[in-house]
Amino acid sequence: MTPRETPRTLDHRTAGEAAGGGGGPVPDGVDVEELRALARSLACEAGTLVREGRPERVEVAATKSSAVDPVTAMDRASEELLRARLAVERPDDAILGEEGDDVPGTSGLTWVLDPIDGTVNYLYGVASYAVSVAVVAGPPDPERWTALAGCVHSVVDGRTWTAALGGGAERDGRALHVSRPASLAGSLVGTGFGYSAERRAHQAQVLTSVLPRVRDIRRLGAAAIDLCLLAEGALDLYYERGLNPWDVGAGGLVATEAGAWLGGLRGRRASSTMTVAGAGPVVDELVHLLEAADADGDGRAAPR
Ligand code: LIP
């Protein structure tokens, strides 16, 4: 290995604890298993609405960060259902949702909602989209929050993943454990691309460094599901630049409670700058490869 790629061992304790669960204490009086059960009930109820209400031909109601970043009427309806339920079940908690305004709270807890993660898949009828519901303590920012509980519900086939801080991760009753691939070259890696052409151009450049070094790439279109597939060993590694808090809220905790390290590059926690997940030491190699490829940059810096 060239000196430039000499691996330094990631501080899995800090990053793992700091990223998914956050390592912060569970606030007094908070029952994470009670929160897990509520997250599951909310995600499954919204999932039923999305599944049963999907029209034959889905229309784009509006676009957001770019002309290809869609929102549909069902994204909004699903989020309205989640917010209405939370207003009754958890009136003192705050809400951070993809499709609506932030709701302040007094409890110190925030529900982080993605009413349909994988909206483009939903639009095209590609069966990989989910409702993601998480609850966090502290600032509703992946770099500072403590994730307490979460659920990712795959709408089309009903697979349902949940996790609670310190309580492990499960899918439909089966406890989850990440894979421990023997090598980067033998690892199946999940990733995704952004809604801006400039961002995708840089992500494609990074991919030219990653693809020759791994088994293969999977681009499934919903980060929440990707992180849950990692948790159950259906993916060995995952990375993506540009994720929003609601994309990683529940899936990130499912991954860390299944034994994954979840973090960013250059010692940072997972954030919109970069989210990487997997088990050591192979995830260390991926982090170093992404750092060398300037994956957390914007493509204007010369590759290191
Ligand atoms: C999607 C993510 C996916 C990413 C897409 C988009 P959305 O979230 O789950 O991983 O590649 O660009 O951000 O917009 O469907 O909620």
Q: Record the pTM.
A: 0.93
Strand partners, 117: 130
187 CA distance to ligand 1 middle (Å): 22
Give the tokens for residue 293.
Answer: 């490829």
Residue 241 · residue 281 · CB < 8 Å: no
Residue 236 · residue 187 · CB < 8 Å: yes
7 CA distance to ligand 1 middle (Å): 30
119 Cα nearest atom in ligand 1: 15
Q: Residue 16 corresponds to which amino acid?
A: G
Residue 142's alpha-carbon distances to 177, 213, 290, in angstroms, are 22, 29, 20
Q: Percentage of residues in the chain with pLDDT exceeding 70?
A: 90
pLDDT of residue 280: 83
Nearest to 132 by CA among 190, 195, 82: 82
pLDDT above 90 for 8: no
Residue 250 · residue 224 · CB < 8 Å: yes
| Tokens 């204007």, residue located | 300
pLDDT of residue 25: 65
Q: Percentage of residues in the chain with pLDDT exceeding 90?
A: 88
194 CA distance to ligand 1 middle (Å): 7
pLDDT above 50 for 16: no
Give the tokens for residue 49.
Answer: 């609405």
Residue 91: asked if its preceding bond is cis (omega within 30°), the reply is: no
Segment 48-101, tens digit of pLDDT: 999 999 999 999 999 999 999 999 999 999 999 999 999 999 999 999 999 999
Q: Residue 13 corresponds to which amino acid?
A: R
Residue 137, Cβ density class (10 Å: 0-12 exposed, 13-18 middle, ≥19 buried): buried
242 Cα nearest atom in ligand 1: 13
Segment 203-230, tens digit of pLDDT: 999 999 999 999 999 999 999 999 999 9
Residues 6+ apart with CB under 8 A from 31: none
Write the DSSP string, 142-193.
Answer: TTT-EEEEEEEEETTT--EEEEETTTEEEETTEE------S-STT-EEE---
Nearest to 134 by CA among 42, 64, 56: 42
120 Cα nearest atom in ligand 1: 15
Separation CA 88–CA 76 (nearest Å): 19
Q: 102-115 burial, b for 16+ CB within 10 Å, e for fewer?
A: ebebeeebbbbbbb
Separation CA 216–CA 237 (nearest Å): 11
132 in contact with ligand 1, CB cutoff 6 A = no
Segment 37-49, tens digit of pLDDT: 999 999 999 999 9
In this structure, the strands spanning 237-240 and 188-190 are parallel
70 in contact with ligand 1, CB cutoff 6 A = no
Residue 114 · residue 246 · CB < 8 Å: yes
304 CA distance to ligand 1 middle (Å): 28
Q: What is the mean pLDDT of the chain?
A: 92
Separation CA 11–CA 8 (nearest Å): 9
In this structure, the strands spanning 188-190 and 174-175 are unpaired
203 in contact with ligand 1, CB cutoff 6 A = no
79 in contact with ligand 1, CB cutoff 6 A = no
246 Cα nearest atom in ligand 1: 16
Mean pLDDT of 121-150: 97
117 CA distance to ligand 1 middle (Å): 6
118 in contact with ligand 1, CB cutoff 6 A = yes
Give the tokens for residue 217.
Answer: 């790439």
